[in-house]
Amino acid sequence: MKNSTIRYQVRLADPAGHRFAITLTIPRPEPGGQILRLPAWIPGSYLIRDFARQIESLLVFDADGPVGCHKTDSHTWQCAPAQGRLTVEYTVYAWDLSVRGAHFDESHAFFNGSSLFLAVVGQEDQPCLLDLCPPGHTDRWRVFTSLPEAEGEPGAAARHGFGCYRAPDHDALLDHPVEMGTPQCVSFEAHGTQHELVFTGVVPGLDLARIAQDVQKICQAQIEFFEPETRQAPFLDSASRYVFLVMVTADGYGGLEHRASTALITSRADLPTTGQPEPEDYKRFLGLVSHEYFHTWHVKRIKPAAFAPYCLDRPNFTRLLWVFEGFTSYYDDLMLLRAGVIDEPAYFGLLARTMDGVLRGAGRHKQSVAESSFDAWTRYYKQDENSPNALVSYYTKGALVALGLDLEIRQRTADRHSLDDVMRLLWKRHGRGFYDHPPQGVPETAMQGLILEATGVDVSDFIARHVDGREDVPLKDALARTGITLEASPADQRPDLDVRTHNDAGGVRLATVYEHGPAHLAGLSAGDLLIAIDGLRVTSDTALKQLLASHRPGDRVVVHVFRRDELRRYRVQLASARALKHRLRRVDGPPA
């Protein structure tokens, strides 16, 4: 251990109370008073989360005893001047079962470093050691992380063991989440590199072999995509293995990317079990895996210049999330097709669902994907009942922008080039070797130039209209030129209110009232509890559909709702359903 190495010890102190106890040892603190800071947000999830609010107590000591310490903002502590080595002891409450935080009980412990590890300000580039202490209540737990074991150090962990792990700097320490417990695991190799799939949560009969087989194909396809010649995995600059940490719950869905791992949360019903038919939404899980793995290149190494480096105490603004999340959302499903884990009709189904979502709300006419990227912190990540009317998603519209660009490049180069060439140039120029010799991030206005360089195609008009502008991406003709028919028809033949609902005790709650739809024009609001139509009780979403089915567009109905606790009556003129259902099929293929 170098004498400047910063050491973090994590004790699994209180599983019942969900508390980690952390001891931070700083060999050479700033003599005039060390500053300590916890990140306010976690990279990949663009919202100020104030993780420091979960620190319950914090005490600082030097060789002579307690050292004064006070907070200077929500996530920063100022220590008093002190002599020699400092020890900081604090507890962190961990009861957030998400991919972004920390969670600990008697069954398992999971954390992101951004919830646990105070930065020693001014020494963020110093090497760190992480000492994970085994729990007191069981000896069956093992450790799963891409963080390298501290080989050669006293107390170095064995693979999957408690003990010492190592990070070259604080940024790396934050970027390898850790799972501890007794999960179901399987490992495989992709182009010679080790990958582990780790499932926490109760899943009887989980078909690990099936999942490993499919995920291996996805990983191999992506490695071949970015490195067709060397077939070298991207994470070898940071770790010897890639780890998928999957939390299984009744209805969870989400993921967060890291440099050599990902934390995922998935629904139990999406996972295959031995001897049972494949679940309909298994491809949703595979899509999530594909998405987060793609980020190993695109976001974790190829980054916006605004993220190189991240400033973790305030929002970092970029107009490029349509490239980083949008292109990733395009390639995640496409990689399932290229890897052979889904067929073309299934891929078309996924693409159609993306189109259904993007073309549903009026928000796409009010916000461009560049604006949506910039406002991620306060708008996309703070969605409310009005969001479909006010926002566009840089994920889903970004995916359609990627498809539109791909089709345009292919058409204008007679299929000699595609968006793949753009991704490989991004990787070569801005990604490869990021953690060895950090290259520059992607400048805010660089994409047109990079696309021109990679393909010879000038897409400035496309970018002006569909990225900086708010026009829908014109896909029908572009797809037709490749032999794919795109059709859009009303999702429902029955008239409707043009609302999004969920069932609630005593009626149907309006979750979103779509702008310019019948409910909006009549005065109904999100939050209203719809209880009757023409005097007949509405007990569920299904009952609402049945009641509307006896009407025609243009009919007027009387709707009773509770707004808060007040009964109100509205006259609504019904209209044709405006939600569209898209279908794609090969001209010479079977109908989808």
- In the chain, the amino acid numbered 235 is F
- What DSSP line would sit under 336-353, residue for residue? HHHHTSS-HHHHHHHHHH
Piece of the chain touching Zn ion by CB under 5 A; list 208-216, 240-248, 322-330, 335-343: 322-330
The residue among 318 and 512 lying less far from Zn ion, judged by its C-beta, is: 318
**Count residues contacting Zn ion (CB under 5 A)?**
1
Closest CA to 126 of 23, 26, 238, 10: 26
Binding mask 63-92 for Zn ion (x = CB under 5 A): ------------------------------
Name the CA radius of gyration of the chain, rounded. 26
Supply φ then ψ for residue 566, to 5 degrees. -105, 130
Q: State in angstroms the smallest separation of the CB of 395 from Zn ion.
A: 7
- What DSSP line would sit under 239-305, residue for residue? -SEEEEEEEEESS--EEEE-SSEEEEEEEGGGS-BTTSPPPTTHHHHHHHHHHHHHTTTBTTTB-BG
The residue among 375 and 496 lying less far from Zn ion, judged by its C-beta, is: 375
Cα–Cα dist 179/173, whole Å: 14
- With residue 88 as reference, give the H or E element that holds it: strand 86-93
The residue among 329 and 389 lying less far from Zn ion, judged by its C-beta, is: 329
Q: State in angstroms the smallest separation of the CB of 442 from Zn ion.
A: 16
Q: Which two tokens stand for residue 38?
A: 């916890």
Q: State in angstroms the smallest separation of the CB of 533 from Zn ion.
A: 41
Piece of the chain touching Zn ion by CB under 5 A; list 319-327, 468-476, 571-579, 582-590: 319-327
Binding mask 372-411 for Zn ion (x = CB under 5 A): ----------------------------------------
Q: State in angstroms the smallest separation of the CB of 326 from Zn ion.
A: 9
* Residues of this chain, 269-298, that bind Zn ion according to CB under 5 A: none
Piece of the chain touching Zn ion by CB under 5 A; list 133-141, 212-220, 321-329, 559-567: 321-329
Q: What percent helix, strand, coil does the chain show, rounded to 5?
A: 30, 30, 40
Piece of the chain touching Zn ion by CB under 5 A; list 317-325, 442-450, 502-510, 534-542: 317-325
Name the maximum alpha-carbon separation found in the chain. Answer: 83
Cα–Cα dist 4/241, whole Å: 27
The residue among 181 and 398 lying less far from Zn ion, judged by its C-beta, is: 398
Q: State in angstroms the smallest separation of the CB of 324 from Zn ion.
A: 7
Piece of the chain touching Zn ion by CB under 5 A; list 174-182, 325-333, 441-449, 565-573: 325-333
The residue among 293 and 348 lying less far from Zn ion, judged by its C-beta, is: 293
In sequence order, what are the residues at sequence separation of 6 or more whose Cβ sits closer than 8 angstroms to the Cβ of residue 137? 15, 106
Cα–Cα dist 256/247, whole Å: 12
Residue 203 DSSP symbol: -
The residue among 126 and 328 lying less far from Zn ion, judged by its C-beta, is: 328
Q: State in angstroms the smallest separation of the CB of 257 from Zn ion.
A: 6
The residue among 20 and 331 lying less far from Zn ion, judged by its C-beta, is: 331
Q: State in angstroms the smallest separation of the CB of 312 from Zn ion.
A: 18
Q: Which two tokens stand for residue 212?
A: 């490993």
Measured distance between the N- and C-terminal CA atoms of the chain, rounded to whole angstroms: 62
The residue among 325 and 375 lying less far from Zn ion, judged by its C-beta, is: 325
Q: Which two tokens stand for residue 177?
A: 């989440």
Piece of the chain touching Zn ion by CB under 5 A; list 156-164, 222-230, 269-277, 318-326: 318-326
In sequence order, what are the residues at sequence separation of 6 or more whose Cβ sits closer than 8 angstroms to the Cβ of residue 534? 547, 557, 558
Supply φ then ψ for residue 419, to 5 degrees. -65, -25
* Residues of this chain, 173-202, that bind Zn ion according to CB under 5 A: none
The residue number whose beta carbon is nearest to Zn ion equals: 325
Piece of the chain touching Zn ion by CB under 5 A; list 76-84, 258-266, 324-332, 402-410: 324-332
The residue among 290 and 501 lying less far from Zn ion, judged by its C-beta, is: 290
Q: State in angstroms the smallest separation of the CB of 329 from Zn ion.
A: 7
Cα–Cα dist 132/227, whole Å: 35
Q: Which residues share a beta bridge with 302?
A: 298
Exposed/middle/buried for residue 312 (C-beta within 10 Å: 0-12, 13-18, 19+): buried
In sequence order, what are the residues at sequence separation of 6 or more whose Cβ sits closer than 8 angstroms to the Cβ of residue 300? 175, 234, 257, 258, 259, 434
Q: State in angstroms the smallest separation of the CB of 434 from Zn ion.
A: 17
Q: State in angstroms the smallest separation of the CB of 217 from Zn ion.
A: 20
How would you list the strands of the sheet with 108-111, edge to edge? 102-104, 108-111, 178-181, 142-144
Binding mask 446-475 for Zn ion (x = CB under 5 A): ------------------------------
SS (H, E, C) 206-217: ECHHHHHHHHHH
Piece of the chain touching Zn ion by CB under 5 A; list 72-80, 221-229, 320-328, 349-357: 320-328
The residue among 148 and 234 lying less far from Zn ion, judged by its C-beta, is: 234
The residue among 145 and 328 lying less far from Zn ion, judged by its C-beta, is: 328
Residue 501 DSSP symbol: E
The residue among 22 and 422 lying less far from Zn ion, judged by its C-beta, is: 422
Q: Which residues contribute to the site for Zn ion (CB under 5 A)?
A: 325
